[in-house]
Structure 1
Amino acid sequence: MTSLKDITRSRDARIKPVTELAARLSRELQGEVLFDQASRGRYSTDASIYQVTPVGVVIPRHQDDLKLALDIARDAHVPVLARGAGTSQCGQTVGEALVIDNTRWLNKVVEFDAEARTVVVEPGIVLDHLNAWLKPHGLWYPVDVSTSAQCTIGGMAGNNSCGSRSIRYGNMVHNVLGIDAWLADGSGASFGFIDELGDEHKARHLAERVKAIAERVDPQIREHFPKVLRRVGGYNLDIFNCQNPKPYDQDGRVNLAHLLVGSEGTLGVSRRIKLSLSPLPEHKVLGVVNFPTFYQAMDVTQHIVTLDPTAVELVDRTMIELSLENPAFRPVIEKALIGKPEAILLVEFAGQDRDAQLESLERLNALLADLGLPGCVVDMPEPAEQKALWNVRKAGLNIMMSMKGDGKPVSFIEDCAVPLEHLAEYTDKLTEVFHRYGTEGTWYAHASVGTLHVRPILDMRRDGAEKMREIAEQASALVREYKGAYSGEHGDGLCRGEWVAWQFGSTVNDAFKEVKQLFDPENLFNPGKIVDTPKMDDERYFRFPSSYQTIPLTPVFDWSPWDVKRDPLTGEQSAPGTGGDATQGLAMAVEMCNNNGHCRKFDAGTMCPSYRITKDEQHLTRGRANTLRLVLSGQLGDEGLASDDVKEALDLCVSCKGCKRDCPTGVDMAKFKIEAHTARARAKGLSWRDRMVGEMPRYAPWASRFSGLLGAAERVPFVSRQVKKALGLAQQRSFPRFSGNFLAERHGQVALAPREVLLFVDTFNNYMESDNARAAKRVLEKAGYRVHLNVKPGERPLCCGRTYLSAGQFDKAKAEAKRSLDHLMPFVERGVVIVGLEPSCLLSMRDEFLQYGFGDAARRLSESALLFEEFLVKAHEAGELPLDLKPVEHSRAMLHGHCHQKAFDALRPVEQVLSWIPGLDVETIESSCCGMAGSFGYEAEHYDASMKMAELSLLPAIREADDDAVLVADGTSCRHQIHDGSGREAVHVARLLERALA
């Protein structure tokens, strides 16, 4: 691989210093220019095993910026690397170059012709966004890759992406009509059908030169190019003879744009891409075929494809088990299973006639019965259940990477494609290879076209690289035996580049070098990819080289559950590590992020609100995880978690825990933020604002007692402004209103009842909105429960410690948690359920309490702690909730879920409880974080970000709501944000249920 240092040595007289390059780019571009160490570190990785620090990063604001950045880099003789979402499996999007990130601004639909079924787009547009734009027109772009929520069309073109439905629609190369690109010499050219290019056209000249090269090596092309649909290695020199099983164009015309497709940005930088669209199928049905053995699943695939499905996708036992461990995926995958299959195939049929698709589903069932497997198909004819299962399949890579510990499924032979008749035998022999090296592979993906994503479980910190080389060599021999393709979907990059010559032979490989020289004589476009590549196991480019180690520090949470060792062959997990490096478990938890970029999605779920408003990699879950990994490994200085880089990366994190649920590998950035905030507080001290936030449970009784005086101060503008300014609070916010002390009221004797419950009244519902606690107590008593409260005479009310955690005062938080645990355990031991009203407080008992090191007592408390609605639903299901409810004054309720409710799958019980109120129509607002997030929305520097988060979906939905609709939100912060942003009041579910009591 040509490094920047090598280029510098050879051109010392002409190269400008990097600092001058950064200065010129900053001076002349309107977009962002990032040359700081942390930003470069965040762009040094993709979803592969590699890490290469770029020279710098440019985020162009418009096409002129893109052209100017390329010109400036060329003047400085600095390589450039155009990058989309950074989802590459093979290292195509990392390199010692100036990275051009087109995703933030160069993402527009430029032209659209519904009649011709074509669209022209900029390279940074995301596939799902494009298809959402096309849907009203009854069209879609059918290269349906698993990363569709984040991958860009430019990246897909550079990679020649394929997707689950390629058996019906083909690969990227079959669906691209033209590419407008900037070339290495600074000129622009439009690549399309050669017979439409004028004689003076730049692309015409290049076409003639490339055609001459291809014709010269035509015999070798015919001999060495794999005869399978899934073949994406090298350059597409076969466009001139159309030897691919699915011709590039149905009429045989040659399109030079197809040479750029799959070129990994080594020949040109795309400005615009013209795509061929397909009619959107009106009806889909899905059959999930359960197999007792993996071999049977592979063997039967060749018969299933004769039924003309649109997709046949594999999910193996490992992926099934990991999906069952994920709370978001468990209920979905359970519906697809019959017993405990070793593998399942997702077989989809799609078209315009529903009856025809249902008949295909019947034929699938009959076929399996004829093959000796009757009753093995789960029919899924309805769209909702199909979509849910496809989402699990699309998360395949991330699910595989959710294995804890050093051993991870490693991507390097996952794209080998073989003819279907050999698929079962190939997978069987490759499994034998894995066993030979003491490991096992994880399998899933495109059975329909003979491309299975298989990743052996290896420890890249130890002997993984050596095993990777040996397994790759034996896998390549099998691919050659079965006349398949070594690179079947994910491209070459750093991982498979060295295998290009092996696959295509030296003559064709030399032809590839000629093409590269023709387009890019100075080797400035993504050097080291496809031609002149490094060895796949050159550890200079590894994210985890043998020299990798973490800096010494002592985490505050117990991260030992992540410090595990897993037997790669059996999958058996060792006991959590309890000794050794104190950072190991924390480092492994951070490294659960595999850089796939699932957190870049915008369409649904809670993750990630700060990225949604900034579109900045720094404020993305992946970007934050990368920052933490670089810090923990000493690559960003020696300050560790207390560093400014960490503070800046976590600055807009609202601790929503959206990543804990929506990230398939369960990255919990909220908990990492507690570690970082605590480290910084210990190193640099606490601000007055931090102290005020953390100590709220202590001063709340006094604030409540003198609430009139505080209210008067609020009404004096000068006093209010000065206090807010001194504390760093937003002037636009009103002070929280303290209005009572529910736990200090006289509640009389606890009523005797056959069943009992403890109502955990948090600081907010005790001192600020006491009516919520009164309502909850009344509802529970009306249901026949003896209600205990979380206070003893003469003692402070119990507290979960959440405010201390958010303010970096970990020790106080842990002390409060221990005080609560000690008080609650006698109730837990006699089977009393602990019921809470505020999601962030109650759910601390199911989350943070487990990592304080409290042992089995914390686990038992976590199993006994339920939110108010969760408890009511469980009691209802057990026949222990004799509530008689009447209609309320509202006919419609609009529900906003607290982020932690969503993260712990606790929103559905809220919907269910509201549905009990007669005549009440419940609508759940599809929203991310409300933006208040405890103290976040009060902080002056975060007010604007807070309101932008609220404006993503929550506030617009509320403004469109009828005046008589009741707004429901269980979170204290959510209710405050709704009030500030809309002027309307939201209520806790307990208040609404109290109104409905007959």
Structure 2
Amino acid sequence: MTTATRDLAGLTARLAELAPGLRVETGPGATGPYAYDASNYRVPPRAVVFPRTADDVVAVLRACREAGVPVTARGGGTSMAGNAVGPGVVLDFSRYMNRILDIDVEARTARVEAGVVLDALRSATALHGLDFGPDPSSHSRCTLGGMIGNDACGNRSVRDGRTSGHVEALEIVTADGVRAVADRSGLRAAEPGDAEAVRRVARLEADLRRLVEERLALIRTELGRIPRQVSGFQLHHLLPENGFDMARALVGTEGTCAVVTAATVRLVATAQASTLLTLGYEDVVAAAEDVPEILRWSPSAVEGMDEAIVATMRARRGADSVTGLPEGRAWLYVELEGDDQAAVDARAAELLDVLKARGRMTGGRVVETPAERRSLWRVREDGAGLAARLVDGGESWPGWEDAAVAPESLAAYLRGFRKLLASHELTGVLYGHFGAGCVHVRIDFDPATETGRTVMRRFVTEAAALVVEHGGTLSGEHGDGRSRSELLEVMYSHRMIAAFAAFKKVFDPDGLLNPGVIVDPAPLDADLALRELPLVETSFGFPHDEDGFAGAVRRCVGVGRCRSDAGGVMCPSYRATGEENASTRGRARMLQEMVRGEAIEDGWRSTEVKDALDLCLSCKACSSDCPVGVDMATYKAEFLHQHYKGRLRPRSHYSLGWLPRTSALAGYAARPVNALLRGPLGKLLARVGGVTTKRRIPAFASRRALRKTLRTAKAAEPTKAVLFVDSFTRAFRPEIAGAAGRVLADAGVPCTPQDGLCCGLTWVSTGQLNVARKIMARTVAALDNGDDRPIIVAEPSCAAALKRDVPELLGSEAARRVADRVHTFTGALTELADEGWSPPPLPEDVVLQTHCHEYATFKGRRPADLLRRLGVRGVDEAEGCCGLAGNFGFEAEHYDTSMAVADLALKPRIDHLDGRPVVADGFSCATQIDHLAGDRGVRALHLAELLDPAADHTGETP
């Protein structure tokens, strides 16, 4: 046993003694994802601890102090400056300490634990017409503790300022394990009856008061000069004229002085009326020139971004994902708020006229609809991720992403900053809170090479001098972290740097709290995560990633949108479990660790990586919802292929992976096979095959039924399209092929059915890529026969496989030609139907389960949009995965997770149908719905069945 292993064992034993039941995780499978945040850095911790109470935190700090082990507090792990990684114990507050303890409507305050996600607080306070003012773009996953650590701001910081302005009191644990309360008048022990704690806290406060008294002039002249001055410690809040505001002084200390366990925060009233203007400009400098005039109109938000972010959003999510922007190459969002909508609209119109008269805009407009506003704000909120991996494939990185100047200096600063970029032959993607003078930028550094790191260090050093020259600050809301702490000497005098060190030493004499940050900083180019890696030989080609598989998994930069509880579809397993290792980010970080080959030494054979990927449903939602386009389903397929190469596979890989072959055979004797599977022998076979016995095995259709339905699906010659009859439709519900053929003929797209081919999906999802490639090659050879007619696929998952998996696995021109012809049923009716076509009368309201693969792969062709266009008034869409997800929900070990995912969105709607029909094109989705409510007579309709001219439209087809 090594010394490090022995020390870790001693620490975990001591923690078990001090806090029985405390969850402590060690080993690369648990700690790997916590080696990263959303920054450039990688610092592997020794252990990750998941406290449930403040007493647990006390135990951790006492044990770590005894052992001399550093402690880093972590919320959502979205810090871009390297604030939330550390070499000792990482405290993850987001897992359990995430409760809203109290909302005082009359006082307009809320008391929350450090791990509460901002959106959870905002949802709770919205019921009372209240809100928490600061709103970072990461609001769907950042925690209040993280916001307090960084002194975060947000899109509406013009109105609401920084987090520090909204904190009334902090409940903290000191480095020596004492619970205290920091409020607007000082510091006190949390437990007045504990005499020793009262004495220690009183001594701590006395030392702090003495420190400030000795440096009054220094603090008054160097701190608090501009609204966004976040860098360093905010000691000016301790000045006599500020009432020794200990709460505000600790905001922004990044966990280097104390660990925050809870906070009492001030709330603001929700605006009654608002209007959004979008303004176009030739470049960001021209946009910045108009900011001082805009600020005269008291906006709630003034946000800026350049064209690269918009282009990437449209490429990733479809042309319709960004609408409402005027002509230009850079844009400002200007939001005005008030109590009366008419008055706000009038102010907006007047402001627009004033800006037009100034002559800098290329265009401007008022955004009319809430949907358009949501779309535009999402572009801005996804800025960090979108800028990380642009449409041209270029990568960019943080490192100088957060400087701020006074708004009136912004244009001049941006001119100088762009010149500085050009002098280093670098390109930056610019966006940010222009109304507050805060500029976010991601730069195409090359941190993987020694030369690139040298350029990065030289650039950020010169950038620090530039921002100081313009009276600005190195950090405007993200904190200094590992990116900028070394540069504080450029911004502050040596006396102020010494004051910061003295402040930390009073709180943390042993230097164990988040070491290397702000005080005694680590070099800004130490512990960089990126390095040159050898190419990894894979089956998938990963054509969009220059470095193949290594480049693909490197797409994850840690912004953590996959940790959101709402909005979009990813990541269903994280939403069901709340575990970092079950998020897209957590899995990507484990794959990055595997490629590095340090903590995880056994590569493709790694059981830790296999375990991290185990709960991935392969829904593909991340390939669309993730701002950088991480495609975990493909990575998982590649990993399973490599992991099991030459080895015995899980039983379900054979029983479910080979389902297209076995189901084709079952069709010849469907009746006796179905009877057998419904009996005791069926359950035995399921157990042997690794399939759960808690689900009914879907009934196989007979070959006779298939032949009959194909005759009805075939239209009279000449036909305009090929109807690809996939394995699931062929084996379990051939009637859908007939309905699809009739609807398409009615819509002016008569089809020729194509039977007997397979997309290879089940072999892909189980990682049997050699077999998948053979199946796909046969299918491509049959379809790429000189025919250029569209290929329409009724099963969305098979359509997605043909569209994306086939060309990426085969890599041939023939595969790409076939992929270019593929349409979902929804897409065919959206793009190919006669202009004047209208279906038979439809119900006024439906419940819709959109297939995840369709959502991810066929952008801008959503069933919900088609249904509304065809006259369905109410489309109640279950946003998220159904939970079955092909083989996943049939595998015995995944049944519980499958049902937990269904509980998130689908089941609540199925339980409250109120007579509405359910539409679900995916076989998995329909099967899950049958499992949830089939015994109540609920049956999901394929869209083709709903639109079938031969149906009676009462919810059943003839």
TM range (shorter): over 0.9
Which residue among 197, 220, 228 is the counterpart of 1:222? 220
Query: Who is 1:760 aligned against?
Result: 724
SS at match of 1:346: strand
CA distances 1:780-806 after superposition (whole Å, capped 9, x unpaired): 234454421214xxxxx0111111112
Contact 2:400 2:442 in 1 (8 A): yes
**Structure 1 Cα separation of the partners of residues 385 and 548 of structure 2:** 19
Q: Which of 725-734 and 687-696 deviates more? A: 687-696
1: CA distance between counterparts of 2:393 and 2:711? 54
**For the Cα contact (< 8 Å) 2:713–2:740, is it kept in 1?**
no
1:575 matched residue in structure 2: none
- Aligned equivalent of 1:947, options 891, 899, 909: 899
Structure-1 residue corresponding to 2:863: 910
Specify which of 633, 636, 640 is matched with residue 677 of structure 1.
Answer: 640
Match in the other structure for 1:608: 571
- The residue correspondences of 1:31-70 to structure 2 (distance < 5 A) are 31-70=22-61
| Cα RMSD, aligned residues only | 2.4
Aligned partners of 2:578, 2:931: CA distance in 1, in Å?
Answer: 25
Give the equivalent residue in structure 1 for 2:955: none
The 1:891–1:403 alpha-carbon spacing in structure 2 relative to 1, beyond 3 Å, is closer
Task: Give me the whole-angstrom Cα distance separating, in 1, the residues matched to 2:598 and 2:638.
Answer: 19
| Deviation for aligned residue 1:408 | 3.1
User: 1:87 Cα shift?
Assistant: 0.8
Letter paired with 1:967: V
How many Å separate the matches in 2 of 1:750 and 1:278? 63
SS in 1 for 2:431: strand
Q: Output aligned runs, 1:840-851, within 5 Å.
A: 840-851=797-808
Q: Distance in 1 between matches of 2:398 and 2:738?
A: 56
Aligned pair 1:592/2:555, yes or no? Answer: yes
Q: 1:891 to 1:508 in 2, by over 3 A?
A: closer
1:648 aligns with 2:611: yes
Aligned residue number for residue 742 of structure 2: 778
Between the aligned partners of 1:521 and 1:459, the Cα distance in structure 2 is 37
Q: Does 1:559 align with 2:542?
A: yes
Partner residue, 2:380? 393
Contact 1:16/1:76 (8 A) holds in 2: no
- Residue 996 to residue 739, structure 1, CA distance change in 2 (3 Å): closer
**Match of 2:791, SS?**
strand
- Report if the CA contact (8 A) 2:485-2:518 is conserved: yes
Query: After superposition, where does 1:40-439 map in structure 2 within 5 Å?
Result: 40-194=31-185, 203=201, 205-225=203-223, 227-241=225-239, 252-327=242-317, 330-338=319-327, 341-373=328-360, 376-403=363-390, 408-439=395-426
- 1:145 CA drift (Å): 0.5
- In structure 2, the CA distance between the partners of 1:169 and 1:854, relative to structure 1 (3 Å rule), is closer
Are 1:805 and 2:792 counterparts? no
Does the Cα contact within 8 Å between 2:757 and 2:779 map onto a contact in 1? yes
Q: What residue number does 2:956 align with?
A: none
Q: Which residue of 2 aligns with 1:858?
A: 815
Give 2:929's aligned amino acid.
I
Maintained 8 Å contact 1:365/1:375: no
The answer to whether the Cα contact below 8 Å between 1:111 and 1:121 also exists between their aligned partners in 2 is yes
Aligned equivalent of 2:625: 662
Deviation at residue 47 of structure 1 after TM alignment: 0.8
Q: 2 CA distance for matches of 1:909 and 1:471?
A: 45
Alpha-carbon distance in 1 for matches of 2:712, 2:467: 79
Query: Is 1:508 paired with 2:488?
Result: no
Mark the CA change 1:785 to 1:350 in structure 2 (over 3 Å): closer, same or farther.
Answer: closer
Q: CA deviation at 1:129?
A: 0.9
Give, as a single letter, the amino acid of the residue that structure 1 aligns with 2:65.
Answer: R
Q: Please state if 1:925 is matched with 2:860.
A: no
Aligned to 1:628: 591
What is the rounded CA distance, in whole Å, between the counterparts of 1:409 and 1:780 in structure 2? 45
From the superposition, tell whether residues 511 and 733 of structure 1 become closer, same or farther in structure 2 (CA, over 3 Å): same
Out of 634, 649, 668, which is 1:686 matched to? 649
Change (3 A) 1:980 1:507: same
- The answer to whether the aligner puts 1:790 opposite 2:754 as a matched pair is yes
Letter in 2 for 1:943: Y
Q: Distance in 1 between matches of 2:184 and 2:284?
A: 44
Aligned CA distance change for structure 1 residues 633 and 16 (closer, same or farther; 3 Å): closer
In the alignment, structure 1 residue 739 sits paired with structure 2 residue 696: no
Alignment CA distance shift 1:855-1:259 (3 Å)? same
The 3-state SS of whatever aligns with 1:789 is strand
Counterpart CA distance in 1 for 2:668 and 2:39 is: 58
SS at match of 2:784: helix
Do structure 1's residue 970 and structure 2's residue 934 form an aligned pair? Answer: no
Aligned to 1:246: none
CA distance in 1, matches of 2:171, 2:577: 28
Instruction: Provide the aligned length of Structure 1 versus Structure 2.
Output: 937
- Could you say what secondary structure the match of 1:335 adopts? coil
Q: 2:428 maps to what in 1?
A: 441
**Is 1:490 equivalent to 2:509 in the alignment?**
no
The residue that corresponds to 2:7 in the other structure is 17
| Displacement of 1:842 | 1.2
- The one-letter amino acid of 1:954's match is L
Distance 2:206 2:950 in 1: 79
SS in structure 1 of the partner of residue 170 of structure 2: strand
Identity score, percent:
33
Which deviates the most, 678-687 or 425-434?
Answer: 678-687
1:712 Cα offset (Å): 2.6
User: What is the CA–CA distance in structure 2 between the aligned matches of 1:387 and 1:211, rounded to whole Å?
Assistant: 47
Q: Distance in 1 between matches of 2:874 and 2:363?
A: 38
Residues 743 and 712 (structure 1), Cα distance of their counterparts in 2 relative to 1, 3 Å cut = closer
3-state secondary structure, aligned to 1:949: helix
TM-score relative to the length of structure 2 = 0.94
The reply to whether residue 725 of structure 1 matches residue 687 of structure 2 is yes
Residue 946 of structure 2 corresponds to residue 992 of structure 1: yes
AA in 1 matched with 2:471: K
Distance in 2 of aligned mates of 1:652 and 1:165: 37
Taking a change above 3 Å as real, the CA distance of residues 448 and 374 of structure 1, as seen in their structure-2 partners, is closer
- CA distance in 1 between counterparts of 2:240 and 2:632 reads 49
8 Å Cα contact 2:465/2:490 also seen in 1: no
Q: State the alpha-carbon separation in 1 of the partners of residues 876 and 602 from structure 2.
A: 44
Distance 1:112 1:730, change over 3 A: same
Deviation, 1:743, is 4.9
1:549 is matched by which residue type in structure 2?
Answer: L
- 8 Å Cα contact 1:407/1:459 also seen in 2: no
Q: Residues of 2 paired with 1:355 and 1:884: CA distance?
A: 41
Say if 1:76 and 1:755 are closer, same or farther in 2 by CA, change over 3 A.
same
In 2, Cα distance between equivalents of 1:822 and 1:406: 31
Q: Does 1:499 align with 2:487?
A: yes
